[in-house]
Amino acid sequence: MTGTANDAVNGPRPRDPGQEPAAAEGLARPSGLADLVARLTSTWVSRISLGVLMVFLLLAVFGPLLAPHDPAAMGRETLQAPSAEYWMGTDEFGRDVFSRFLQGTRISVFVGLAAVAIACVVGTIAGMAAGFSSGRIWDGLIMRTMDIVLAFPLLVLVPVVTGLLGRSGVTLGPVRLTAIPLMTLAIALVFVPIFARVARSSVLAEMEEEYIVAAKTFGARRRHILFHNVLPNITAPLIVQAAFAFGGAVVVEAAVSFLGLGVQAPDASWGTLLADGRSFLTLGCWWLVAFPSLALALTVLTFNLLGDDLRDHLDPRVRSSVRKFSRKELTRS
């Protein structure tokens, strides 16, 4: 398009004589989710980790339907090695380990997801509030509370909460919280400060940006600035953090349940499966421990890889530089 052609139609106003940038013309970038998925499936590592993630999610949702046996039914064939009948063998009561593993997967994955979701929402709101009132009393109050929470080792805080309250359960009005929801809340509590810190620092960085000043000049209120301007721009680091946190949450759940302070029989999780199987390891019954361990390791690895990839792709500013760095970081952790 040229200036002269437009001038004839639109009068003497100086038209933007620039041709459309080529990137926008033919090769318009697909935006949003489709674009992200396309980029996340661009390398083998990310394709595999996305695949593993999908398998776990499907198992968590539909797993118990696929179970070949009743996970609680005892049988005469105790401590059988994996076979065509019992894919992951049987335990000391003759229960099908595969069926119990599917049941455990559901609880482990859901507890992890729920804990991260709660932590993310609460942490983000707290962090945004702190960041927005930076330097004032609310900021100090919120962030010092977060520091106090962080000061407790996570493997002490969660067992204490679930161990003290989980046995009897807690009644909050009409809702009765049993061991599993309590544990979920406890894990969420532990992860809140992580999200709060990320949210706060992201808000502080965004508040320095000129578009926030622009929003203030045309009279935008606090709420508009926070939720319409700041929030969309800080989701990327929060999503990345959520991916890393999920791996952590699953491990915490397993550890607490392993100690016998989390999920209680007859329910199962990867942690209880490990606890149950541990004493038979000396008898050579490796299958009781191997599969839950493998599942745990795969989950953590998958989500760390995914978190890395998300960090590379979601934030255009660090896309190129972070790639090398994050790989290094991964080998350290």
Partner 1 sequence: MADVNPLLRIENLRVHFPLTGWRVAARRGPVVHAVDGVSLTVARGESVGLIGESGSGKSTLSRAVMGVYRPTSGRVLFDGIDVHRAKGSAERQIRRRMQMVFQNPYASVNRRYTVTQIIQEPMKVQKLGDAAERERRTRELLDLVGLSSRLAYRYPHELSGGQLQRVAIARALSTRPDFLIADEPTAALDVSVRAQVMNLLVDLKQELNFSLLFISHDLATVSYIADRVAVLYLGRLVEVASIDDLERDPRHPYTEALLAAVPRPDPDAARLYRAPGGEIPSAVNPPSGCHYHPRCPLAEERCRQEYPPISVLSGNRRLACHVRAGDRPAPRLGAGAGDEPPVPYIDPSN
Partner 2 sequence: MNGLTTSTHPHRPPALRVENLHTVYRNGAQETSVVRGVSFDVHSGEIVGLVGESGSGKSTVLKSLLDLIGENGQARADVLEVAGQDVRSLPRAEYRRMRGVELAFISQDPANAFNPAWTIGSQFRRVLKRHFPGMSRRELDAWAVELLGAVGIDGRGKLDSYPFQFSQGQLQRIMIALACASERLQVLLADEPTTSLDVTIEAQVLQLIRRLRDERGLAVVLVTHNLAVVAEMCDRVLVMYAGRIVEDAPVRDLFRNPQHPYTRQLLKSIPAFPRDGRRLHTMTGAVPDLSIDVAGCAFAPRCEERISGLCDTIRPVLPPRTERATARAACHVVSGAVPAASGGEGDG
Which residue ranges make up the site for partner 1 (CB under 8 A)? 1, 6, 10, 13-18, 20-21, 23-24, 28-29, 31, 135, 209-211, 213-221, 224, 228-229, 232-233, 316
Q: Which is nearer to partner 2, 11 or 219 (CB)?
A: 11
| Residue in the structure block whose two tokens are 């983000």 | 124
Structure tokens at 139: 């900021």
Per the CB < 8 A criterion, the answer to whether 253 and 269 are in contact is: yes
For helices 270-278 and 287-314, give the axis angle rounded to 10 degrees.
150
Q: CA gyration radius for the chain?
A: 25
Structure tokens at 217: 């000049």
SS3 105: helix
User: Which listed option, partner 2, partner 1, none, makes contact with residue 221 (CB within 5 to 8 Å by class)?
Assistant: partner 1
Q: Which is nearer to partner 2, 22 or 84 (CB)?
A: 22
User: Which listed option, partner 1, partner 2, none, makes contact with residue 22 (CB within 5 to 8 Å by class)?
Assistant: partner 2
- Neighbouring CB atoms inside 10 A of 309's CB total 24
Residue 310 CA to residue 43 CA, distance in Å, equals 12
Per the CB < 8 A criterion, the answer to whether 293 and 250 are in contact is: no
User: Under the criterion CB under 8 A, does residue 217 sit at the interface with partner 2?
Assistant: no
Between the two ends of the chain, the Cα-to-Cα distance in Å is: 54
CB of 33 to partner 1, least distance (A): 14
CB of 213 to partner 1, least distance (A): 6
User: Which listed option, partner 1, partner 2, none, makes contact with residue 207 (CB within 5 to 8 Å by class)?
Assistant: none
Q: Which is nearer to partner 2, 167 or 319 (CB)?
A: 319
SS3 142: helix
Span near partner 2 by CB under 8 A; candidates 14-22, 44-52, 79-87, 236-244: 14-22
CB of 4 to partner 2, least distance (A): 7
Per the CB < 8 A criterion, the answer to whether 306 and 53 are in contact is: yes
Per the CB < 8 A criterion, the answer to whether 106 and 263 are in contact is: no
Among 12, 18, 173, 284, binds partner 2 (CB under 8 A): 18
| Residue in the structure block whose two tokens are 């004839």 | 8
Q: Which is nearer to partner 2, 3 or 51 (CB)?
A: 3
Residue 94 CA to residue 323 CA, distance in Å, equals 48
Among 10, 19, 31, 331, binds partner 2 (CB under 8 A): 19
User: Which listed option, partner 1, partner 2, none, makes contact with residue 220 (CB within 5 to 8 Å by class)?
Assistant: partner 1
Span near partner 2 by CB under 8 A; candidates 17-25, 130-138, 172-180, 311-319: 17-25
Span near partner 2 by CB under 8 A; candidates 2-10, 86-94, 201-209, 289-297: 2-10
Q: Which is nearer to partner 2, 21 or 173 (CB)?
A: 21
User: Taking Cα atoms as reference points, which of 293, 201, 300, 292 lies closest to residue 243?
Assistant: 300
Complete DSSP assignment for 83-144: -SSSTT-B-TT--BHHHHHHHHHHHHHHHHHHHHHHHHHHHHHHHHHHHHTTTSHHHHHHHH
Residue 233 CA to residue 223 CA, distance in Å, equals 15
User: Which listed option, partner 1, partner 2, none, makes contact with residue 331 (CB within 5 to 8 Å by class)?
Assistant: none
Q: Give the type of residue at 80.
A: Q
User: Which listed option, partner 1, partner 2, none, makes contact with residue 2 (CB within 5 to 8 Å by class)?
Assistant: partner 2
User: Under the criterion CB under 8 A, does residue 4 sit at the interface with partner 2?
Assistant: yes
User: Under the criterion CB under 8 A, does residue 24 sit at the interface with partner 2?
Assistant: no
Q: What is the contact surface with partner 2 in residues (CB under 8 A)?
A: 2-4, 14, 17-19, 21-22
